[in-house]
Amino acid sequence: MLQTMAAGAGSALGFSLLPEQLLAMPKLKETPKRIVFFMQNQGFDPATCIPEGMKRSGSLAKVKLPEPISPLEPYKDRMHIINGLHGIHTSPSHSAFFGALGGYRGSDGVPPSAATIDYELSKILPQTLLPHLCIGMDSIENMRTKPTIATLSASGAGQPIFMHSNPNHLYQMLYGGISTGDIRRQHEARSNVFNQIEQLAAAKGNALPAADQQRYGQFVDGFKEVNGLRDRLDSVAGHLRKFAPKVDGRYTSPEHETDWHDVLLDLGISSLTSGITNTLTIGSGRGEIFGAWKGLGIEQQGHNLGHMEQPGNPIWIKIRQYNSRMLVRIIEALDSIPEGSGTMMDHTLIVYTSNNADKQHTSGANWPVMLLGNFDGAFKTGCFTQLDGKRPINSLYATLLEASGVPCEHFNMNEKLARKFDSGTGPLQEILV
């Protein structure tokens, strides 16, 4: 896949700065922007987010938000609802998987064909200790048996990025160095194992055939990155202590999967407020067709939820309101921390949508998106924009790059694809200030 960007965009920035310099980045001239992607599986029906009677673009000031997103009513002046983008070329059906954030054809078991927008932005935004964090929420059984899974984000062709689904493992990774008791002992034990694996893997890889050495090298690099991140986090332990969530029974003895969903969100929020990361991707349903919300009193789970109509459905109202309350928690947490002449939320954008357009078994002809925040004044807020269905989700991603200072004509689209699936070029001017 091709990207048409300004020279130098998309090149890795690495970790050349010292940890104390990274933590001081808000004092630099770079705008301390950050972005959150929240991907709910099973589709995002436009009727669950567009106020009743709104057929054309307009202000949200005098309308009432639909019941599924009603917890966001106090924040509708910071909201932008977009309808009429498409993702036909991604073939979403059950899910577009990597194609949802990549803007290319995706399917179950198909590796990513290019980097996804969340990863690209993580390289462009001011660098942090962990540029990109992905967390995935699912049934408790799936999160336990598969504590990491890769279905949504990628750093390049054939380079998936894993989501963290076990909050105990994620807490150890982020805050193990400042913990005590069992958590500290587990952190140190895992660290020793990872160090040994890295050393053994590096030594053994030299004996492999040349054709396998590159693939094996990626495996070794993964352990190097984990070990390097642990060292970087340990070096700023004093700072992190101020932001680490309190560990309680929900971590080790969750009653429902929503207990783990809640503490995973706590960890995601703390990674933003502490400055550990500037890009957070949340996969509710982890980019697949599963997912469970028994903690909300919902017995149905998984694929069956996708075969239910969302508008007016009490089950989907509960799920969507739960998501909306999560978004409120992010907003309130970032709003509580001063930054520059405002708060952290003033420099943040939350992108809420689905990994398979408007519904389960969709053609991708309509892909609703909800934005919260203005990304340091870049995006219009308090409004609804109805597009004509001729521009793809790639154009939204090009807009995010534009707002981050990197001009982009067609994100992950070569000229042939753009001629067929995009009626325009560059960002969506309708949603920019």
φ, ψ at 258 (rounded to 5°): -65, -20
The pLDDT value recorded for residue 231 is: 76
Instruction: Determine the distance from the C-alpha atom of residue 77 to the mean position of all C-alpha atoms in its chain, rounded to a whole number.
Output: 23
pLDDT at 201 over 50: yes
Q: Once rounded to an integer, what is the mean pLDDT over residues 196-214? A: 55
pLDDT tens for each residue of 97-154: 999 999 999 999 999 999 999 999 999 999 999 999 999 999 999 999 999 999 999 9
pLDDT at 262 over 80: yes
Contact in structure between 71 and 324 (CB atoms under 8 Å): yes
pLDDT at 15 over 50: no
pLDDT at 20 over 90: no
pLDDT tens for each residue of 67-90: 999 999 999 999 999 999 999 999
Backbone dihedral region of 8: left (phi > 0), alpha (psi from -120 to 50 degrees) or beta? left
Contact in structure between 289 and 306 (CB atoms under 8 Å): yes
pLDDT tens for each residue of 382-414: 999 999 999 999 999 999 999 999 999 999 999
Close Cβ partners of 45 (under 8 Å, ≥ 6 residues apart): 309, 310, 311, 316, 358, 359, 368
The pLDDT value recorded for residue 407 is: 96
pLDDT at 417 over 50: yes
Which has more pLDDT, 187 or 318?
318
The pLDDT value recorded for residue 229 is: 78
Q: Once rounded to an integer, what is the mean pLDDT over residues 200-224? A: 54
Contact in structure between 153 and 163 (CB atoms under 8 Å): yes
Question: Is the Cα dihedral 55, 357, 416, 12 positive or negative?
Answer: positive
The pLDDT-based confidence of 239 (bands split at 50, 70, 90) is: confident
CA distances from 211 to 113, 147, 218 (A): 20, 30, 13
Q: 27-36, 140-149, 417-426 — which is least confidently predicted?
A: 27-36
Which has more pLDDT, 200 or 284?
284
- Gap between the Cα atoms of 2 and 410, Å rounded: 8
Q: Once rounded to an integer, what is the mean pLDDT over residues 346-373? A: 97
Domain covering 34-172+251-421, topology:
Alkaline Phosphatase, subunit A (3.40.720)
Helix (H, G, I), strand (E, B) or coil at 267: helix
Q: 14-28, 364-378, 415-429 — which is least confidently predicted?
A: 14-28
- Gap between the Cα atoms of 361 and 157, Å rounded: 26
- Gap between the Cα atoms of 129 and 15, Å rounded: 8
- Gap between the Cα atoms of 347 and 32, Å rounded: 7
**Percent above pLDDT 90 for the chain:** 74
Q: Please report which residue ranges of 176-313 form alpha helices under DSSP H.
A: 181-205, 210-234, 237-240, 249-252, 257-273, 303-306
Domain chopping of the chain, boundaries: 34-172+251-421, 180-243
Instruction: Annotate 168-202 with b (16+ C-beta within 10 A) or e (fewer).
Output: eebbbbbbbbbbeeebeebbeebbeebeebbeebb
- Give the angle 264-293-309 at the CA atoms, nearest 5°: 125
The pLDDT value recorded for residue 207 is: 57
With CA atoms as reference, report the closest residue to 301 among 309, 289, 310, 313: 289
Other CB atoms within a 10 A radius of the CB of residue 333 amount to: 19
Which has more pLDDT, 231 or 24?
231
Q: Once rounded to an integer, what is the mean pLDDT over residues 330-342? A: 96
pLDDT tens for each residue of 361-379: 999 999 999 999 999 999 9
Helix (H, G, I), strand (E, B) or coil at 134: strand
Which has more pLDDT, 369 or 240?
369
Instruction: Determine the distance from the C-alpha atom of residue 190 to the mean position of all C-alpha atoms in its chain, rounded to a whole number.
Output: 26
Whose structure tokens read 């982020």? 174
Give this prediction's pTM: 0.87
- Please state whether beta strands 383-392 and 58-59 pair in parallel, antiparallel, or not at all (unpaired): antiparallel
- Gap between the Cα atoms of 199 and 201, Å rounded: 6
